Amino acid sequence: MQELGSSAFDLVFRGRRVVRDRALVMAIVNRTPDSFYDRGATFEEDAAKAAVDRAVAEGADVIDIGGVTASPGAEVDAEEEIRRVLPTVEWIRATHPDVLISVDTWRHEVADAVCRAGADIINDAWGAADPQILDVAAAHGAGYVCTHSNRVPRAEPVRSDYDDVVTAVLDETVRLAELAESKGVPRGGILVDGTGYGKNTPDHLALVARVKEIVETGWPVLMALSNKTFVRESLDLDVADRDELLTGTLAATTIAASVGAAMFRAHQVLPTRRTLEMVACINGTRSPARAQEWIS
């Protein structure tokens, strides 16, 4: 156990050091009309701004803006993706200067445009399918998320025949992290994703159960667990079962946070932040907000 109140995480994005006594919360704001979870609730710009304001008020450390859903669907070219995300990034940078901005993209053209507008992190869910994206991150000194994926962007999902899914994720994300560092991406802003695409429910459960093995590589670990299919299938829920999905998500969040995952991508910011604060208090990296004298 660490000394009470000592920092749990110390990350650097574009030269800005971010120190927290709990894991960070990355709030999801989709600028897409076809997200599986929110069905386009924040596609319109005013709705996206309201969602960002709410996430910041609830304690989000990072706002993650996405302009293309991961699922197969209508073609969205780089120009359209930029049109969707760039105004939001510019507005966040002007309106909420202290919050970190992440953009979920695999395209180097999009990454370059949003970094020029002030984005701090490139959240690449497709494992450098566009290799130039690493050069863009390096050129801007931006953070970069390394993800294991056995798919080309937006292709139909196919599960690989893993001998050991945790080893596959660990090996590929560490390889990408080392490659990103060799390209000049600042080490303090490189994260590895402990989940990724191309996996079924038992795979994701194994990754959550064994995330400590990924944490022990020394690279900060991002977990994208929020309302995922593995939660729905584990608990026999539908997308509409929001409260129960949140319960399952927070259970998985607690397990991953307790062994040192550094950042959690989430739809519901406040309950995620509270969960991470409680885990940090138990682990000893965070002091209780209030400690009474009496014994209960």
Residue 292 lies in a domain: no
Q: What is the reported pLDDT for 5?
A: 37
CA-CA distance, 197 to 157, in Å (whole number)? 8
SS3 of 181-231: the string is HHHCCCHHHEEEECCCCCCCHHHHHHHHHCHHHHHCCCCCEEEECCCCHHH
**Cβ-based neighbours of 212, under 8 Å, separated by 6 or more:** 259, 260
Pairwise CA distance, residues 199 & 219, whole Å:
22
Question: What integer pLDDT is reported at residue 141 of this predicted model?
Answer: 97
Q: How many CB atoms lie within 10 A of CB 98?
A: 7
pLDDT in tens, the chain (296 residues): 333 333 467 899 999 999 999 999 999 999 988 666 666 678 889 999 999 999 999 999 999 999 998 877 788 999 999 999 999 999 999 999 999 999 999 999 999 999 999 999 999 999 999 999 999 999 999 999 999 987 788 677 777 789 999 999 999 999 999 999 999 999 999 999 999 988 999 999 999 999 999 999 999 999 999 999 999 999 999 988 989 999 999 999 999 999 999 999 999 999 999 999 999 999 999 999 987 766 65
Kindly state whether residue 97 falls inside one of the protein's structural domains.
Answer: yes
272: left (phi over 0), alpha (psi -120 to 50) or beta: alpha
Identify whether 294 is part of a domain: no
Q: Give a yes or no: residue 296 inside a domain.
A: no
Positive/negative CA dihedral, 24, 29, 34, 37: positive
pTM for the full model? 0.93
If one counts every other C-beta atom within 10 angstroms of the C-beta of residue 170, the result is 22
Residue 115's pLDDT is 98
Q: Which sign, positive or negative, has the C-alpha torsion 49, 54, 56, 61?
A: negative
Cα separation, 294 vs 296, in Å, equals 7
Query: Which run of H or E residues covers position 20?
Result: strand 16-20
Quote the pLDDT of residue 2.
Answer: 38
- Which amino acid is residue 91, in one-letter code? W
Phi then psi for 220, rounded to 5 degrees?
A: -60, 140
Structural domains of the chain, count: 1
In a domain, 83, yes or no: yes
| CA count, 13 A, side-chain hemisphere, 207 | 28
User: Phi and psi for 100 in degrees, rounded to 5?
Assistant: -80, 145
Sign of the alpha-carbon dihedral angle for 266, 127, 33, 93: positive
103, amino acid identity = V
pLDDT at 292: 73
Residue with tokens 């979870």: 37
Please check whether residue 4 lies inside any domain of the structure: no
Q: Calculate Rg over the CA atoms of the chain.
A: 18
pLDDT at 39: 64
CATH code for position 255: 3.20.20.20
Query: In the 3-class helix/strand/coil scheme, how is 9-30 assigned residue by residue?
Result: EEEEECCEEEEECCCEEEEEEE
Range of the domain at 123: 9-283
Residue 289 lies in a domain: no
Is residue 38 assigned to a domain?
Answer: yes
